[in-house]
């Protein structure tokens, strides 16, 4: 299956881009949704999270204290690495399982932490949604009301904009108005259909 990894920094507009591709017929696999399922009530990853960070993070009903865990991992890089070691292999395995089951022309895997977690090998191409760091801060603040310093701290846990761009095969410029997005996505959609067809032909030879 021809696979595109979609990534970008916080506030870049990945969800909007995913929705537009989906409207054109692309299959979308959301890594964040898989992560939320793993950490939902009685989720598969909760026993290991409780063992690693303390049973107090999971209540008697099997519900994770997400706020406490988020504060812990953003304040402690080693804690964040421990959490990633629990979640990311499970997320990667589930993504591969879902990709193998796709019957559409191509699949887009929305992975915000693609480079940070070393999962670039999941895809045939990497698509980065790009805008300036200042725009990231402004858009996240408008959406969530977070303090700009808190947004910057989150951004500091992600790879830099320049590193994302170096790793990109394709780039969507989301620095302007949303009306500029559909034309870019339509062009990429046609390109991906061609590449998917080419890959399928090669596999039948």
What is the number of H-type helices and E-type strands within the chain?
Answer: 9, 5
The region that residue 13 occupies, defined by phi over 0 for left and psi between -120 and 50 for alpha, beta otherwise, is left
DSSP code of 64? B
Closest CA to 174 of 11, 5, 21: 11
d(Cα 60, Cα 136) in Å, to the nearest integer? 38
Q: Would the annotation count 12 as a binding residue?
A: yes
Q: Would the annotation count 16 as a binding residue?
A: yes
Q: Where are the beta strands (DSSP E) in 131-189?
A: 170-173
Q: Would the annotation count 9 as a binding residue?
A: no
Q: Would the annotation count 13 as a binding residue?
A: yes
Q: Would the annotation count 157 as a binding residue?
A: no
Residue 203 has a CB neighbour count (10 Å cut-off) of: 9
**4 burial type by CB count under 10 A (0-12 exposed, 13-18 middle, 19+ buried):** buried
User: Which token pair is 174?
Assistant: 């989301």
User: Which token pair is 54?
Assistant: 């303390």
Q: Would the annotation count 63 as a binding residue?
A: no
Asked if residue 59 lies in contact with residue 65, where contact means CB atoms within 8 angstroms, the answer is yes
Residues placed in the known binding site for ATP:
11-16
Residues placed in the known binding site:
11-16
């Amino acid at each position: 299956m021809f696979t595109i990894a979609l990534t970008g920094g916080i506030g870049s507009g990945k969800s909007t881009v995913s929705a537009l591709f989906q409207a054109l017929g692309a299959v979308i696999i959301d890594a964040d949704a898989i992560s939320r399922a793993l950490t939902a009530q009685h989720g598969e990853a909760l026993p290991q999270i409780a063992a690693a960070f303390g049973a107090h993070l999971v209540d008697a009903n099997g519900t994770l204290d997400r706020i406490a865990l988020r504060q812990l991992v953003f304040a402690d890089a080693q804690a964040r690495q421990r959490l990633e070691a629990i979640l990311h292999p499970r997320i990667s395995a589930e993504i591969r399982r879902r990709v193998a089951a796709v019957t559409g022309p191509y699949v887009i895997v929305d992975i915000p932490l693609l480079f940070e977690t070393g999962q670039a090998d999941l895809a045939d191409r990497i698509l980065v949604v790009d805008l300036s760091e200042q725009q990231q801060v402004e858009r996240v603040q408008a959406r969530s009301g977070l303090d700009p310093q808190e947004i910057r701290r989150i951004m500091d846990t992600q790879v830099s904009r320049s590193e994302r761009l170096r790793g990109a095969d394709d780039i969507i410029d989301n620095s302007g108005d949303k009306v500029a997005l559909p034309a870019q996505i339509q062009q990429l959609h046609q390109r991906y259909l061609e590449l998917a067809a080419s890959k399928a032909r090669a596999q039948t030879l």
